[in-house]
Structure 1
Amino acid sequence: MGDARRYFDLPSPFPMKRGGQLHQACLAYETWGELSPARDNALLIFTGLSPSAHAASNAADDSPGWWEEMLGVGKYIDTGRWFVICVNTLGSCKGSTGAASIDPASGQPYRLDFPELTLEDAANAAYALVRSLGIEQLACLLGNSMGGMTALAYLALHPGAVRSHISISTAPQAQPFAIAIRSLQREAIRLDPQWNNGHYSDDSYPEAGMSIARKLGVITYRSAMEWVGRFARIRLESDQREEEPFGAEFQIESYLIGHARRFVRNFDPNSYLYLSRASDWFDIGEYGRGGVADALGRIALQHVLVIGVETDILFPLSQQEEIAEGLRGGGAEVEFVALDSPQGHDAFLVDIVRFGAAIAQFLARL
């Protein structure tokens, strides 16, 4: 198995929205399919907070990607037709420059010396990548979760750079509930003594803080309906229980422990903090005189698909409706799809059949 990851060197210095700049920074990305001679079939994917650019297997890397069933030749996003680019967000730790990367000025990891990060910075970095590939205008820009907010930033900052847009389970601005959850996740990391103001190592790593942060996330990524259906009040067998006082007793607790264990050492804590706060800061309303509706109404697109899930508590359906209405105000032909998937916010990763059908039908009309 090879590595399909490619690297784009950002213009140096690369200026950041809230001040500061990056030198010798790069973006990790992967591609599928072929760019047409007219360069008019490019589809860019922005991911949620934690995924890498490896959305699906390809010739260079046959390991399954995070959206494996969605993307590929003959699949819902058909790479026989589309040239698909998936970018790892600026500030992440999956190949793109972030807090865990080496600062060329010091030769040490940036840690908390990394400049304040916004989703606008991530959007501008991806725009530079797209232009470097010789693509003047994307046929379609797709963003889910945090990536949907990054996509809205891209649309606001680069008028005319995109023809159509697929917005999935995202938000035009962070709402109090989402901010509160992310604030608690960051606090869990920062209060872990091993975090040590960002100066941790493999030997001294904020395992407990990252574990709690991940568990909080997983709880909000799914719905109460799904938890009841999957776990009810089922208790662990006696040999599966933890011996210490107040240890895990229910299956739901064991499930969360397993999720956290798979995540903690695979994601850099400082990068997590930066991306989490960037999500809180995002507000498309900054790009219009009259708030969110005005800002979205300034974005000129031809066709838009907005998908939301009724059980999503983190990015509620009302926010998807707000995006659909706003972009309709800009003159786009907007299709709004509300799914009753029980999996909550994570449904776009799990309920592939229904999300895929809506996406494939939309792309077929372009």
Structure 2
Amino acid sequence: MSVTDDKSTPASFSTEDARRAIELARQTLQIEADAILALKNRLSDDSSEPLARAVHLLLGCKGRAVVSGIGKSGHIGRKIAATLASTGTPSLFMHPAEAAHGDLGMVTPNDVFIAISNSGETAELLAIVPIVKRMGAVIIAMTGNDESSLAELATVHLNVGVDKEACTLNLAPTASTTATLAMGDALAVSLLDARGFMEEDFARSHPGGALGRRLLTHVRDVMRSGDAIPAVRPDVSLSAALMEITRKGMAMTAVVDEHFHPIGVFTDGDLRRLLERGQDFSRFSIADVMHANPRTVNQDQLAVDAVQLMEEFRINQLLVTDAQGVLTGALHIHDLTRAKVI
């Protein structure tokens, strides 16, 4: 069957069709933006504002935030639960239908139960919310109707109602789900700030992400150590130092004193500059040609600090020391790339 024979696919998509699609996209975005702006304008500065009360309840929660909803509200609920969990509020999502068949055992009296329903009359939620309430858990409802059954049962009701859906039929959940998601984000951000949640806390929740790697990876985690460190004494010949550079494969060697403190460094770049001068360097010791006072980084610093040093001084290698200034490692920019710090 050809594409044009498929009744679900238009035989053609005209310029006028394209214009209409773009116009509908603009209308959709405007309707949803207006819905979020209406939520913002609905918030008061009073301490009795439902959002402030919800934040207060969640801050005092000894258990977890249990988020529940069905259909599109369920999809939004999963995202809200994930956002809360990653920003310092232990949370989980519980499907209300599964809750009625055993999953309700996940809820404890110390939890805050966040029930999401645009109508506020979702049967599956109304079947379990009274039970959750009798257990002693606090109920926060997010609905589009202050007078709904769910709003009446809740300790705090967050009104996420919208004037209309972005759907041209005013049926498909569009603006309402966007508004609910935005309110969930507002709740999470308010909690994040109230808890004093910092970048380091976020990184611990995201160890596999780029931010986690940048804030959790230390120099000691990625440096080369032990026999992999290129190092020579200052009295060795330049030729011997070049052999050390070749063996260790870092395009440089450290020069260390008797206590293994770095006193100099010699790189492939330094060698090229010597060759350009046309000198007979076979008679040199490494002390004659090394750079004294090399750049170093402490092994306990973040790897991202090493990146900043390399960028600032336009170098590809760094020597690594401990608190006593003893050489404990060497770091190449490729090591940082492999660790995905950069």
- TM tier relative to shorter chain: under 0.3
Q: What's the TM-score once normalised by structure 1's chain length?
A: 0.20
Q: Which has the larger radius of gyration?
A: 2
Report the structure, 1 or 2, having the larger helix content.
2
Q: What's the TM-score once normalised by structure 2's chain length?
A: 0.21
